[in-house]
A and B are shown apart, each in its own frame.
Chain A
């Protein structure tokens, strides 16, 4: 029952995501009246569900940052704050980035719980606002010119062209919906994987794992959002920003997909690297911002007279305020949950410099004898700890976050009985290494990482290269699962 209560905020976030993000894949098609809203909603829902269940990225992406939230109540309040923010933006018919709402709420949690915030995330968000629309706009302009050139030579009948564009919009929308489901289900349901009470379900020859059942539920919530509330944002994207012709609508969808594929696809990066080709630098991109950028790009190509700049201004304000609103709202939801509903929103975090930390830092090239003077002092707030480090030691600013992270107390006890082997997917050598450490306790999470790395090369991170990225990420997820299972907070 408690689980279902907590799950409700995840489902609400799913609903909000469906209400807002469906516009990125079908907005231009519905807004240009090429596809009926009902048709778009049905296709979108079906493919979102398929994407979520068949290729749900699980705890990946933004959720990696959510993983830091160490209490289910905190996850509930974080998701709730993000969901309310996205809902409010959808109400105002503005396309926004759901991930940014979640990041804003997570920073709120960090602030509330006194955890360390990685400010590069914030830098990335600001970079997205600038880079994404520009890249997308340029791509849309080039593509629009190319499509125009081809159509001029093809001499297609208006009705033939109409039919082709219609089918192309449906195909692009279906593909986009599949990706939407696959990439975002982790944001919606990821935090609940560990505590999911669902069991395996089979429909004839198909067997759904408990995680897939959970993702199906999340997918359903997204689909419901698409059906009940996505038309508002769709109309802004499709006709509110500027009237779109069917061909322009198609170019917008394709330009947005190309930009996301070229500049945000780790799969492409891996493919290029594995074939000895130069890789394209990955930049943080948002689907909503890519779509808006593509529309404005085409509008500017046509002279800019048709663009409704007031709507553009509103959308830009929405982008800038989304993380801020989510941040503020999350503080409010944490306060409410903690003080009114007596729900634990975070497990207390403490930071302490001890000899093992000083030794570890020395190994990593941070030598500061002043750190010894801080031994024994316990801090419960990362920012206060950082201030003390600045005052009492000579640690460079660039190393502060590293010192804070390594000093974070994380009591662990290796107990193999607490592991869900199906979820962990361990190699025999990894299991053997874990067995050797069974029963041991640790003060810091990095101590377990170091010991396991010593025990087996299967627990060791590889050199940071594009080709090693998937391996290292998989290992990172395994470590996170270990920490969660062995935590004795």
Chain B
């Protein structure tokens, strides 16, 4: 965290600290995605929020707080030291949007806890697949974001992967909705399932939007 960076005295030291903070921020986002996957598995196994679920949710909240704090620290440091003047706005917007990914998964976890939706057993595998694809979207987005800082030419390749997995997520999402609406469930349950499927797919959509922006930022940086 940048608070640790404050103990560094030289500007070089502080810069190294902020580089570590940015990397750590991406690690947290990646962890949050894995944690949400685990959380969904726990929910589907038990059909309701359990103690194990609460522990995972608690961890996700802590990750979110930590990532927020890191992002704020990075933002303050970049502005205070007037670092990367040309790309500062792009970098901060990218970090903010990536931070929103954790927020979206956290909100989804809370919704599962409060609304306790019913998912038929035959849909479990599909739901986990959808989440896994969304998670791969996030992972490739993070690779693209890391590349933005170190290897600008690789951004496009990783962004392309994000777009590919987002399409896969859309297909899986449609398949899940079709499955729900062709079942014998109550209309309210069907609608409820569609709502959650859309929100899991929403994470992949968000990742795709950020990847699009990132490609533009990379073009600007290469100019």
Chain A residues in contact with chain B, CB under 8 A? Answer: 32-34, 36, 152, 155-160, 162-163, 245-246, 302, 306
A159-B149 in contact given A245-B223, A302-B223 (Cβ < 8 Å): yes
Given contacts A152-B153, A157-B149, A157-B150, contact A163 B11 (CB under 8 A): yes
Interface residue B84 (Cβ < 8 Å from any Cβ of A) = yes
Question: Which one, B18, B22, B86, B91, contacts A32 given CB within 8 A?
Answer: B86
CA distance A34 to B86 in the complex (A): 9
A173 shortest CB reach to chain B, Å: 16
A158 to chain B: closest residue by CB: B149
Instruction: Provide the bound-state CA to CA distance between A33 and B22, in Å.
Output: 22
Q: For residue A155, which residues in chain B have a CB less than 8 angstroms away from its CB?
A: 150-151
How far does the Cβ of A108 sit from chain B's closest Cβ, in whole Å? 44
Partner of B12, one of A32, A158, A163, A302: A163
Is B19 interfacial (CB-CB < 8 Å)? yes
Q: Output the nearest chain B residue to A245 by Cβ-Cβ distance.
A: B86
Contact residues in A for B151 (Cβ distance below 8 Å) = 155
Encode B166-205 as 1/0 by CB contact (under 8 A) with A.
Answer: 0000000000000000000000000000000000000000
Tell me which residues across on chain B come within 8 A of A162, comparing CB atoms.
15, 83-84
Q: List residues of chain B with CB within 8 A of the CB of A306.
A: 223
The CA-CA distance from A306 to B150 in the complex, in Å, is 25
Contact of A246 among B16, B19, B86, B91 (CB under 8 A): B86
Any A CB within 8 A of the CB of B114: no
Of B15, B86, B223, which contacts A33 at CB under 8 A? Answer: B86
Q: For chain B residues 46-103, which have a beta carbon within 8 Å of chain A?
A: 82-87, 91
Which of B15, B91, B153 is close to A160, meaning CB atoms less than 8 Å apart? B15
Q: Could you tell me the distance between the alpha carbons of A156 and B16 in the complex, rounded to whole angstroms?
A: 12
Extra contacts besides A159-B22, A163-B83 (18): CB < 8 Å: A32-B86, A33-B86, A36-B82, A155-B150, A156-B150, A157-B19, A158-B91, A158-B149, A158-B150, A159-B15, A159-B84, A159-B149, A160-B16, A162-B83, A163-B12, A245-B223, A246-B85, A302-B223
For A244, the closest partner residue in chain B by CB is B86
SS of B interface (majority): helix
Q: What are 12 A-to-B residue pairs whose CB atoms are below 8 Å?
A: A32-B86, A33-B82, A33-B85, A155-B150, A157-B19, A157-B150, A158-B149, A158-B221, A159-B18, A159-B83, A245-B221, A306-B223
A32, A245, A246 — most chain B CB neighbours (10 Å): A245
Q: Which of B99-157 contact A (CB under 8 A)?
A: 148-151, 153
Interface residues of B, Cβ cutoff 8 Å to A: 11-12, 15-16, 18-19, 22, 82-87, 91, 148-151, 153, 221, 223
Enumerate chain A residues within 8 angstroms of B87, measured Cβ to Cβ: 158
Shortest Cβ distance from A394 into chain B, in angstroms?
65
Q: Nearest A residue to B87 by beta-carbon distance?
A: A158
> Chain B contacts of A157 at CB under 8 A?
19, 149-150
Say how far B14's CB is from chain A's closest CB, in angstroms.
10
Known interface pairs A163-B11, A163-B15. Does A158 touch B86 (Cβ–Cβ under 8 Å)?
A: no
Contacts of B149 on A, CB cut-off 8 Å?
157-159
* Cβ distance B161 to chain A, nearest Cβ, rounded Å: 20
Shortest distance from the beta carbon of B164 to any chain A beta carbon, whole Å:
25
Cα separation A163 to B17 with both chains bound (whole Å): 13
The distance in angstroms between the C-alpha atoms of A159 and B14, with both chains bound, is 11
- Give every chain A residue within 8 A of B83 (Cβ-Cβ): 159, 162-163
From A36, A158, A302, contact of B84 by CB (8 A): A158
Q: Which residues of B contact A246 (CB under 8 A)?
A: 85-86
Chain B nearest CB: distance from A306 CB in Å?
8
- Give the most central of A158, A159, A245, A306: most B CB within 10 Å: A159
User: Looking across the interface, which residue of chain A has its beta carbon closest to that of B220?
Assistant: A245
What is the distance, in angstroms, from B150's C-beta to the closest C-beta of chain A?
A: 5
Q: Identify the closest chain B residue to A155 (Cβ).
A: B150
- With the chains together, A158 CA to B148 CA distance in Å? 8
> What residues on A are CB-neighbors of B18 within 8 Å?
159
Residue of A nearest to B146 (CB): A157
State how many angstroms separate the Cβ of A209 from the closest Cβ of chain B.
Answer: 39
Beta-carbon nearest neighbor of B148 in chain A? A158
Query: Nearest 3 A-B pairs (CB), nearest first?
Result: A33-B85, A158-B149, A162-B84
Residues from chain A with a CB closer than 8 A to the CB of B85 are 32-34, 246
Kindly state the separation between the CA atoms of A33 and B87 in the bound complex, as whole angstroms.
Answer: 11
Most A C-beta atoms less than 10 A away, residue of B84, B87, B150, B221: B84
Q: B5 CB to closest chain A CB, in angstroms?
A: 12
Other-chain residue from A36, A152, A159 in contact with B19 (beta carbon distance below 8 A): A159
Enumerate chain A residues within 8 angstroms of B22, measured Cβ to Cβ. Answer: 159
Please name the residue on chain B nearest to A36 by beta carbon: B82
Interfacial chain B residues near A160, Cβ < 8 Å: 15-16, 19
Complex Cα gap A365–B87 (Å): 69
Query: B95 CB to closest chain A CB, in angstroms?
Result: 13
C-alpha spacing A163/B16, complex, angstroms? 10
In the complex, what's the smallest C-beta–C-beta distance from A130 to chain B, in angstroms?
Answer: 29
Task: List, in ascending order, chain A residues with CB within 8 A of B82's CB.
Answer: 33, 36
Cα-based distance from A157 to B151 in the complex (angstroms)? 8
| Residue from B16, B22, B82, B153 with most neighbouring chain A CB atoms (10 Å) | B82
Q: In whole angstroms, what is the CA distance A36 to B150 when docked?
A: 26
CB nearest to A148 among chain B residues: B222
The smallest C-beta distance from A449 to any residue of chain B, in angstroms, reads 58
Query: Which residue in chain B gives the minimum CB-CB distance to A162?
Result: B84
Which chain B residue has the least Cβ–Cβ distance from A306? B223
Chain A residues with CB under 8 Å of B223's CB are: 245, 302, 306
CB distance from B119 to the nearest CB of A (A): 43
Nearest-neighbor residue (CB-CB) of B151 within chain A: A155
Chain A neighbourhood of B84, CB < 8 A: 158-159, 162
- In Å, the complex CA distance between A440 and B86 comes to 70
- Bound complex: CA of A152 vs CA of B221, how far in Å? 13
- Collect the chain B residues with CB atoms within 8 Å of residue A156's CB: 150
Complexed CA–CA distance, A162 and B22 (Å):
15
